[in-house]
Amino acid sequence: MATWKNTARTLCGVLVVAIITTGPARAQNDTAKAPNAPGVQAKKPTITTDTGKPIGDDRDSTTAGPEGPALLQDFYLLEKLARFDRERIPERVVHARGVGIHGEFVATADASRWTKAAFLSAAGKTTPVFARFSTVVLPKGSADTARDVRGFAVKFYTEEGNYDLVGNDIPIFFIRDAIRFPDLVHSLKPSPVTNVQEPNRYFDFFGAAPESTHMMTFLFSDQGTPASFREMDGFGVNAFKWVNAGSDVHYVKYRWKSAQGVKAFTDDEAREVGGMEPAYCTKDMYDAVTSRKFPSWELQVQLVPAAELRSKFDFDPLDATKDWPESIVPFRPIGKMTLNRMPDNFFQETEQIAFNTGAYVPGIEPSEDKLLQGRNFSYSDTQRHRLGPNYQQLPVNQPKDGPVRNVNQDGLDNHAHTRGDINYEPSVRDPQAGQVDARYKNPAVPLGDSSTQEPIKDPQDFKQAGDRIRAMSPLDRDHMLHNFSVEFKKVKDRKVLVRFVSNLYRADADFGAKLAGAAGVAVDEVKMLAADARK
């Protein structure tokens, strides 16, 4: 604990020193810029407007005489203010606060027997990547040590286009159907009345969403407060499909295994460190990479042949609230990611990087996971809202190898070089027009013969949650009990606590009874509600 305190105090001390020294440094720079200052050896480049017009004075507005008002004709004044007014773009609804890093992924195995994805076709094959780590619910100005899920997103710039593996530091999720995602996030966001995040709201939602019980055992354990972005594992969360050159299909789940190990703060440590340095995890990553202590992760996969998927498990394997037990499907290592370069400009890259769960390459496809199906729309749609319809043309989002060929044109911030009037296809008029390639056609997927709007047949909302609770050490269970109790004190409505605790009671009666005591509600009342819910 002392180590974290000392590190955080050091960070704050560095910040204070930087603030104190800013004034004199500016004065020295002003002197150096004076046209006739002694010791000036070379002429410095001239400041210009965005259109390239040289500027003679960047500190005084053009006015109607010395005492008069500023003039509308001062284009440079207007440009500086207008650009300043538009410096910010809409904040991400989720994953608003994050840190991004460049790096590389090296395949350590030939995965071509399972997937025709080129970047996984040979051991030693190297692919540039950009990774972004984030908190999920909290806004940009929040402490990145706070209790929250951590986003773990990686963009692979492959020779067949960009592939985005967008996941979290927890192997499962709160819900199994995307139709509940807006409600989940709304319950976790600040109240529309008070603008304060309130446990009364999100425990109310989770109590009515029993499928979230498994996730609660992760979020309210110490795993909900990782010690750093470097010292946590990552997961793809959803199941995906790998398809090989022979159109054989395997279902796949991903895990990033941290070479730095996994470390977490206790609830008290997270609050103390975050209070002294809200950007603790962000600065930790910058310090590690800039000091050449490059963090790395091993990419591992679980693979199940399509024909065996339903018979392999006693639960729905495409339910994102469940993980696939390693005892049934072991992980296979397929590659290693090393992060080694921080962005030159935070806004241009980390803020404008756009991840989409629907960005696949040949050989990787979405599964029928209902949560993933909704994510594939929502992620790209939010990027179009934040960055405009041509967000893929931003340098950080562009494919690195090969041109982008399609007939998309126009829209905000279109920087593509289009020629001629062929913005439709097919056409025989343009000899350079692209054409489709049957090798990349998606294989047929068997579907039901009718539509339905029903829940999955066997949800099993509590089994894996109970197994996890019982597998914890007594100390970890005590920490989780403490973490829940801290938030329970803020809940105003007793009915919310009874219903929420009843879900944990159904997962593990002993822990549920202790949780009822921490919540100040009667165990008999919790037990009765849990029994009624089973019917």
* Catalytic pick among 162, 168, 238, 483: 168
Whose CA is closest to 357, among 97, 106, 168?
Answer: 168
Does the annotation mark 168 as catalytic?
yes
State the Cα–Cα distance between residues 336 and 108, nearest whole angstrom: 7
Q: Does 414 qualify as catalytic in the annotation? A: no
Find tokens 């500016």 and name the residue: 26
Determine the Cα–Cα distance for residues 158 and 116; give it in Å rounded to an integer: 13
pLDDT at 101: 98
Going from the first residue of the chain to its last (535 residues), give the mean pLDDT of each consecutive group of 10, the final group possibly shorter: 53 42 40 47 84 88 91 89 89 94 98 97 97 95 95 96 96 96 95 94 96 98 97 98 95 98 97 96 97 98 96 95 97 98 96 94 94 92 91 91 78 75 77 74 72 80 97 97 96 95 97 96 93 65
Residues of the chain with CATH 2.40.180.10: 98-397
pLDDT value, residue 132: 98
CATH tag for 98-397 (out of 2.40.180.10, 3.40.50.620, 3.40.50.150, 3.40.640.10): 2.40.180.10
Distance CA 250, CA 255 (A): 16
What distance in Å separates the CA atoms of residue 497 and residue 509, rounded to the nearest whole number? 16
Contacts of 246 (CB under 8 A, 6+ apart): none
**Active-site residue identified among 95, 102, 214, 250:** 95
Query: In the structure encoding, which two tokens stand for residue 375, read together?
Result: 């994510």
Distance of CA 310 to the CA centre of its chain: 30
Instruction: Please tell me the pTM assigned to this model.
Output: 0.87
Helix, strand, or coil here: 131?
strand
> pLDDT value at position 278?
96
Measure the N-to-C terminal CA separation of the chain; round to a whole number of Å: 47
